[in-house]
Amino acid sequence: MNIREIQDEIIRLKKENDICILAHSYVSRDVREVADYTGDSYKLSVLAKEVKQKTVLMCGVRFMAETVKILSPEKRVLLSNGIAGCPMAEQMSKDFIESVKKENPGYTVVAYVNTTALLKTVCDVCVTSSSAVQIVKNIDNKNIIFIPDCNLGAYVAKMVPEKNIKLLQGGCPIHASIDPKEAEAMRAAHPNAKMLVHPECVPAISLMADYAGSTAGILDYARKSDADEFIIGTEISIAEQLQYEFPDKKFYPLSMKLICPDMKATTLMDVYNAVRGKGGEEIELDDDVIVKARGCIDEMIRLGG
Ligand code: 13P
Ligand code: SF4
């Protein structure tokens, strides 16, 4: 079968088997094309609560599939490819955060949604990159511990100076690998381009950009802008996606190192196998993990709305 035929079969089978396909904007284009919904992690987690189908197939990474399961425990939730994790989500253990909490009584622990379900059970509220600034502003406590991404945390601290934000050493190995010198060189090479970056990049890059925000925020900014050239400082699929939408404009990836191997792990064949019952990993979480982690995600939706 060729790609078009496989895509048609996936679309037929997902309807026949009552499956909703959610795809993060970083997964490959052939997979995004068969999804019911695409978007950033905030949009996908809110949508997951509303979809009618009995099975949700997540094309993205494990913490995203876990978030769907936490929000919709009655649904069957499949991760298209079980090896797709997010290295940042695994960086801090539950025991470590419990000891940090003991050392810092009275602090609200804010967890980036890129964390395991188990870690969320000991945190107070989740944030995504698109909601972090707003949620931290809305928290009724001045003292905050922000985990695990110290780059996103530092960016939030700059945007919400009235809060006392403690950071721990963690972050995205892909976005954090970009040196501010590379960003300066890109600016010099494309002086008329708007620079749009994800706040998982180091703060020096977020602060030199014209816009820093989530994948959805970057797409939105570029779609509404009159500019003809853009430097895109996040996973290269976003520059690619924009280039398809606006063939007459130019979208330069900030760096060709911005490729997330985990987001690229899901292939169209993984999706095909999952919708025909021959693949995908079912996400199973203990009831007490679901209940405790859900409090953290519900707080995100409440404070972010
Ligand atoms: P968003 O929150 O922008 O979807 O990003 C998720 C992610 O993994 C970024 O690296
Ligand atoms: Fe995790 Fe970074 Fe990949 Fe996003 S880009 S899924 S934060 S490793």
Query: 58-82, pLDDT tens digit by residue?
Result: 999 999 999 999 999 999 999 999 9
Number of the ligand 2 atom closest to the C-alpha atom of 235: 5
Number of the ligand 1 atom closest to the C-alpha atom of 234: 10
Number of the ligand 1 atom closest to the C-alpha atom of 216: 3
* 115 neighbors 63 (Cβ within 8 angstroms): yes
Instruction: Give the chain's count of helices (H) and strands (E).
Output: 14, 13
> Which of 26, 88, 202, 254 is the best mutation target for the ligand 1 pocket, counting ligand atoms within 8 Å of the beta carbon and taking the most?
26
- The Cα 193–Cα 197 span in angstroms is 12
**Is 70 exceeded by the pLDDT of residue 305?**
no
The predicted-structure confidence for 158-207, as pLDDT tens digits, reads as follows 999 999 999 999 999 999 999 999 999 999 999 999 999 999 999 999 99
What average pLDDT does the structure give for the chain? 95
**Alpha helix locations (H) across 38-116?**
41-50, 62-71, 94-103
What SS3 state is found at 231?
strand
In angstroms, the Cα distances linking 272 to 17, 19, 22, 261 are 12, 12, 14, 20
Ligand found nearest the CA of 215: 1
